[in-house]
Every structure is written in C-alpha cells, then in structure tokens.
Amino acid sequence: MTAAAVIGAVALAAWVYLLLGRGFFWRTAERDMRRLPAPPARWPAVTAVVPARNEADVIARSIASLLAQDYPGVFRVVLVDDASEDGTAERALEAARGLGAA
C-alpha cells in the first residue's frame, strides 16, 4: 500500500467516524441548547480604524458599511489618510455627513 493510499484511508476513516460516530457533529443547534447570556448593562466603546491612501473610489462605501453597523454601544470610525492625492479624506467626510455621522 502506498503512502498516498494510507493517508487517504486514514482521512476517510476519520470522516466516517465524524459522520457516523459523532452524530451529525456539524449541527450545533441540535446539541447546544444553552441559553444565551444576558446582554451587558453597558457595552464597551468600539473604534474602527480605517487606514487609507488613494482610496477615493471605494472609501464612501467602506465608511457607509462601517456606519451601518448595529452596535448598541458607542461606535466610532477613524480614518487615517496617508497623504492621499485623490481626495480620499474629502469623500469619506462627505459619506459620513450624508449618513449624519460627522
């Protein structure tokens, strides 16, 4: 038996064990019936730091996506503009103002 055949047989045996011996191990809802913990009384503040250089064509979408996050605590987005020459900072500010965040 070649080494590849041995490795293949061992891999097949492992998958057969996981599928049959562990009883649908990938279906976590079937075995994890614990209650979710209560939400915290106070959520920690989160800051997303976005480094950008010459990203004017995509920065508005990126900022809008970050500002659309559903986080119950304080959430800030900080753009670090690394000497862009294409108006990245201006477009990011326009996007933030358009969403009422700046």
Residue by residue, pLDDT tens for the chain (102 residues) are 799 999 999 999 998 888 777 666 666 655 667 788 898 999 999 999 999 999 999 999 999 999 998 999 999 999 999 889 999 999 999 999 988 877
Q: 60 with 40, same domain?
A: yes
Our measurement of the distance from residue 73's CA atom to the centroid of its chain's CA atoms, rounded to an integer in Å, reads 17
3-class state of residue 97 by DSSP: helix
Please state the length of the chain.
102
Specify whether 59 is located in the same domain as 84: yes
Q: How much is the pTM?
A: 0.59
Closest to 79 measured CA to CA, from 68, 63, 95, 65: 63
Residues 41 and 79 in one domain: yes
Q: Say what angle helices 88-98 and 59-67 make with each other, to 10 degrees.
A: 40
Q: Do 65 and 77 belong together in one domain? A: yes
Q: 18 and 42 share a domain? A: no
**Residue 54 structural domain:** 36-102
Domain count, the chain: 2
